[in-house]
Amino acid sequence: MFYNFNFIILAGISFVLLPGGDAFIKSYVDPVYSGIAALAAIVIVCTCMIMKKLDEVLRELKKEKDEESETV
């Protein structure tokens, strides 16, 4: 699925954004560049999601610790 998305959508977008050069060489390079950009975006999004979840866990742990200290 990623392979098809990269070659059809992302390579087409990069072809429009970066015109010029040899069309034959660009036909091989554009999917590589767009694939690298897409993978970097996936890593960034996943890292942000993990950080949000970790913040929630830390808040819950702190809340439980505060509740335990109040009862003692």
When the pLDDT of each residue in the chain is averaged and rounded to a whole number, the result is: 82
Q: What's residue 45's pLDDT?
A: 97
pLDDT at 50 over 80: yes
Q: Quick one: pLDDT band at residue 8, thresholds 50, 70, 90?
A: confident
CA 28 to chain CA centroid, nearest Å: 23
Query: Pick the residue with more confidence: 4 or 45?
Result: 45
Instruction: Domain ranges for the chain, please list them.
Output: 2-71
Token pair recorded at residue 70: 């109040």
pLDDT at 61 over 80: yes
CB of 31 within 8 A of CB of 15? no
